[in-house]
Amino acid sequence: MFYYGFGYFSYFPLYLLAILVVAIASSSVRSAYQKYSRVRNERMMTGEQAARRILQIAHLDDVDIQYARGGALSDHYDPRRKIVALSKACYEDDSVASISIAAHECGHAIQDAQGYFFLRVRDALVPVVNIASQLGWILLVFGLLSFSSSTSLFNLGLILLSVSLLFQIVTLPVEIDASRRALRILSENDLIEQTQLPMAKAMLRAAAFTYVAGVLSTMLQLLRIFLMTRRDER
pLDDT tens digits, 67-113: 999 888 999 999 999 999 999 999 999 999 999 999 999 999 999 99
Domain total in the chain: 1
| The one catalytic residue among 42, 92, 105, 175 | 105
Q: What pLDDT does 153 receive?
A: 79
Give a yes or no: residue 1 inside a domain: no
Q: What pLDDT does 74 receive?
A: 95
Whether 42 is a known active-site residue: answer no
Give a yes or no: residue 220 inside a domain: yes
Query: The whole model's pTM is what?
Result: 0.87
Give a yes or no: residue 133 inside a domain: yes
Give a yes or no: residue 140 inside a domain: yes
Q: Does the pLDDT at position 151 exceed 60?
A: yes
Q: What pLDDT does 27 receive?
A: 93
Query: Domain range spanning residue 101?
Result: 6-233
Give a yes or no: residue 33 inside a domain: yes
Q: What pLDDT does 18 receive?
A: 83
Distance from C-alpha of 1 to C-alpha of 148, rounded to nearest angstrom: 6
Q: Does the pLDDT at position 202 exceed 60?
A: yes
